[in-house]
Structure 1
């Protein structure tokens, strides 16, 4: 599957990996690892990318031009998700400041916090796996998904120029 990455297979691989990733995030949340504000925003790429990748995989054989456009969008989407994951990881490692509303330095300038919800700080990782927080893993997975989309896009461009 990796060597013969047609646009359809690339999109299907993106769908499967992205779906498994967001499902994993939901499982972590179910077992008590509450997401912070930045974690929830990182999920937006998955909520967009999963259905888009499925649609691209379904239309690729019949509409190669549209599939190319979809793979281009997926490439940009996952690169953006990677950058956001790096940003959040940097906040967790205290390399740069995060949003004032969800870091340990958060004050009460905006009023009292909502005490009905657990306080989850963006600069404190809930868990590290092999040294990376979930935000770090999001960056790694997003880079991989962007590379798969780019490879599928390059394959689509190569095959369209040959057939003309």
Structure 2
């Protein structure tokens, strides 16, 4: 019974990370271009979603749950860092990301023209917020909740609820 409950927690946490990825891609589809830190925050969620899928297929394994917890904690740390950059608490990356494709086949002139037209997305500017919390802030909140779910998954049901 403990493994069944822990398996469900792992699948829930993995689905939560998949939902956060889907939300990020939806925002991007509607014109909110991601900055470098936004894209960086997606990777641990992708890892956690894959781990949740592995738990669904292979069954609960403590080591998988611990990897899921690690991925959620990395996502949380990156989101807190990004939120701090947005709030001007510390400096972020000094370079920006753009959307230039086909670099290998471009001439120097074409490359310069493409770079001039590429959207510049700064990591220290908030493009969207809800209740005064930016997307990075919401990611930090959601990642902390997911980390708690992964921790409960790794502990197992009996220990998670303080039973013997």
Q: CA RMSD in A?
A: 2.5
State whether residues 78 and 142 of structure 1, in contact with CA within 8 Å, keep that contact through their aligned partners in structure 2. yes
Instruction: Give the structure 2 partner of residue 58 of structure 1.
Output: 57
Shift in CA distance, 30/97, structure 1 to aligned 2, threshold 3 Å: same
In the TM superposition, what are the counterparts of 1:69-148 in structure 2 within 5 Å?
Answer: 69-102=63-96, 114-148=115-149
Question: Which segments of 5 or more consecutive residues in structure 1 lack a partner in the other structure?
Answer: 104-111
Is the partner of 2:115 in helix, strand or coil?
Answer: coil
CA distance in 2 between counterparts of 1:147 and 1:136 reads: 17
TM-score, normalised relative to structure 2? 0.80
Which whole-Å CA distance do the structure 2 matches of 1:156 and 1:72 have between them? Answer: 15
Whole-Å separation in 2 of the counterparts to 1:19 and 1:129: 21
Checking the alignment, whether the CA contact within 8 Å between 1:127 and 1:134 is kept in structure 2 is yes
**Aligned residue for 1:12?**
11
Aligned residue for 1:109?
Answer: none
Q: Does the 8 Å CA contact 1:102/1:121 hold for their aligned counterparts?
A: yes
Match of 1:108 in 2: none
- Structure 2 unaligned residues grouped into runs of 5+: 98-111
TM superposition shift of 1:102: 3.1
Kindly tell me the number of residue pairs found equivalent between the two proteins: 144
What's the counterpart of residue 46 of structure 1?
Answer: 45
Contact 1:7 1:68 in 2 (8 A): no
Normalized against structure 1, the TM-score is what?
A: 0.80
**What CA distance in whole angstroms lies between the structure 2 residues aligned with 1:85 and 1:155?**
27
User: Are the structure 2 counterparts of residues 157 and 68 from structure 1 closer, same or farther at C-alpha, using a change threshold of 3 Å?
Assistant: farther
CA distance in structure 1 between the partners assigned to 2:70 and 2:158 by the alignment = 17
